[in-house]
Amino acid sequence: MTDHDLTYLPATEALRLFRSRELSPVELMQAVIARAEVVEPEINAFAEQTFEDALTQAKQAEIAYGAGGSPRTLEGLPIAAKEEQPIAGRISSEGSLALGEQVADVTHPAIERILGAGGIIHARTTTPEFCCAIFTQSRRWGITRNPWNLDYSPGGSSGGSAAALAAGTAVLATGSDIAGSIRLPAAATGTVGFKPPYGRVPGLPPFNLDHYCHDGPMARTVADCALLENVMAGPHPIDVASVRPKVLIPEQLGEVSGLRIGYAPNLGDWVVEPEIAANTRAAAEALRATGAIVEEIEVGLRVAEVRRAMFAHFGAIFGTYVAGIAATHRDLLTPYALAFARDTAIGPGDFYAGLELEGKIYAVLGALLERYDALLFPTTGVTALPAGEDFVEAELSIDGVALDHYLDSALTPVFNIASRCPVLNVPSGIGRHGVPTGLQIVGRTYDDATVFHIGAALERVRPWPLRPTGRA
């Protein structure tokens, strides 16, 4: 097995080889670091690298797998953490020059659990400023590029984590999702990302109290994603919204015989590229071979209503946060962060009106989820966003149709509104420009296991490449 093969080794397989002593955590870490040194100058997925410390931890993990050792769940695995998730004593800038060299005094609960399980955080990954965009670039870190095609973005805001997985510079990664920030980059990079239901993975105040906010796992395989989710999940004393009891994804996945699954190539009136709709349909058709009952459905949601609900919510919480920083550090912020604060500004009564819209939107989904065990939809309407474009001056068009706002390209915010629904993104195929497309598997509220079963079944009958095709 070459070093390049090692860097794309599934985490579950790496752990098996560690336990059998056929592979050392040191060998895997060395391979990942060597890979990063080759590709990072062009991919730019890392906001921070701690390679020397990671090698020291890998040596300690090697001992844990020796005679008399007691390896933990993630012992020795190289894991990339989204910079937004703070680590005590380390810089926590959220990709902004305005936050300077701000040092965190607390570690995010999910990161705390990863470290406690023996995972080695060898790098922290790039985001857009304040994670307020669906691409990944900032004045602080520059442009992060998609390993499948360097002319395009890996999506955002967890774009650095997704790019690291696709580039072979991490075995697992963490993300967070407030409007699709796990699912969109997973779709763009051919990887797997899970938006847990609200409260499943604990967060930090005050955003843990925002039901749009979800921290979750990212990986290259469904089993790897489940492995990391099981470490991150569960109630935590710092987060009143974290739900009890802890729920584990089963190790044996893929049993879907008899499940009723509804699918649609569109949520309503979104503009969706034809190949994305075709890939969604092909993935749904493939599930029939697993014994699932798959039916095409009409959803009938309206993108303008979803945007109004989303912006009202952001304006009350997330947009207010960005606007507060802009009030004193305007010259240091990116144009897209300033535009986000402007676009999400709300007036009296707007937040309440947004809640009314949220209820109306979920009523449609809730009725469908009474009829079906899960639903399948495209993750985004556009295959790839050009790297470096922020859509402040330029508009985004899909198949010649100009969008009212570039966020209208995402079919993900619906499920931040329906925040208690678990959603797993898995690859659905390849689109234009050689960039992957993604599929959202949406479950009933707090029914996490079903979406993983469906994802594993699809992975079995329609496997996707674990590395970008045509690249070294």
104-122 confidence digits (pLDDT tens): 999 999 999 999 999 999 9
Please tell me whether residue 12 adopts helix, strand or coil conformation.
Answer: helix
* Mean pLDDT, rounded, for 445-471: 95
Structural tokens at position 329: 């550090």
So what's the pLDDT on residue 100?
Answer: 82
Residue 289: Cβ within 10 Å count: 13
Is 82 noted as a catalytic residue in this protein?
yes
Q: Taking all residues of the chain, what is their mean pLDDT, rounded to a whole number? A: 97
Backbone CA torsion sign across 298, 300, 306, 307: positive
Region 62-77 average pLDDT? 97
Q: Are 267 and 376 in contact (CB under 8 A)?
A: no
DSSP notation for 151-187: TB---SSTHHHHHHHHHTS-SEEEEEESSSTTHHHHH
User: Which pLDDT does position 451 carry in this prediction?
Assistant: 98
What's the pLDDT score for residue 112? 98
- In the structure encoding, which two tokens stand for residue 273, read together? 């590229």
Using DSSP, state whether 376 is helix, strand or coil: strand
Q: For residue 266, name the pLDDT band (cuts at 50, 70, 90).
A: very high
DSSP 265-325: S-SBS----HHHHHHHHHHHHHHGGGT-EEEE----B-HHHHHHHHHHHHHHTHHHHHHHH
Does the annotation count 181 as an active-site position?
A: yes
Q: What is the pLDDT of residue 469?
A: 85
pLDDT range class, residue 101, cuts 50, 70, 90 = confident
Using pLDDT thresholds of 50, 70 and 90, give the confidence band for residue 2: confident
- Quickly state the pLDDT bin for 387 (edges 50, 70, 90): very high
Q: What is the pLDDT of residue 206?
A: 97
User: Which of these is catalytic: 158, 181, 242, 409?
Assistant: 181
**pLDDT of 298 above 90:** yes
Rounded Cα distance between 271 and 19, Å, is 48
Q: What is the pLDDT of residues 356-378, one digit of tens each?
A: 999 999 999 999 999 999 999 99
Cα–Cα distances (Å) from 69 to 54, 64, 119, 165, in that order, read 19, 4, 16, 29
Q: In terms of Cα–Cα distance, which of 106, 54, 116, 115 is closest to 85?
A: 106
Summarize the confidence of residues 284-300 as an average pLDDT: 97
Kindly state the average pLDDT of the residues 3-20: 94
- pLDDT(169) > 90: yes
Q: What is the pLDDT of residues 207-223, one digit of tens each?
A: 999 999 999 999 999 99
- Residue 344's pLDDT band, with cuts at 50, 70 and 90, is very high
Respond yes or no: is residue 360 known to be catalytic.
Answer: no
Residue 4 clears pLDDT 80, i.e. is over it: no
Q: Are 100 and 93 in contact (CB under 8 A)?
A: yes
- Residue 375: both structure tokens together: 């639903």
What residues have CB less than 8 Å from 45, skipping those under 6 apart? 80, 123, 125, 126, 144, 154, 159, 160, 161, 163, 164, 167, 169
Domains of the chain with bracketed CATH: 3-461 (3.90.1300.10)
Task: Give the pLDDT confidence score for residue 1 in this predicted structure.
Answer: 67
For the segment 226-251, the average pLDDT, to the nearest whole number, is 98
Q: Is the peptide bond before 181 cis (omega within 30 degrees of 0)?
A: no
Query: Which H or E run includes 451?
Result: helix 448-461
Which residue in the list 93, 153, 157, 428 is annotated as catalytic? 157
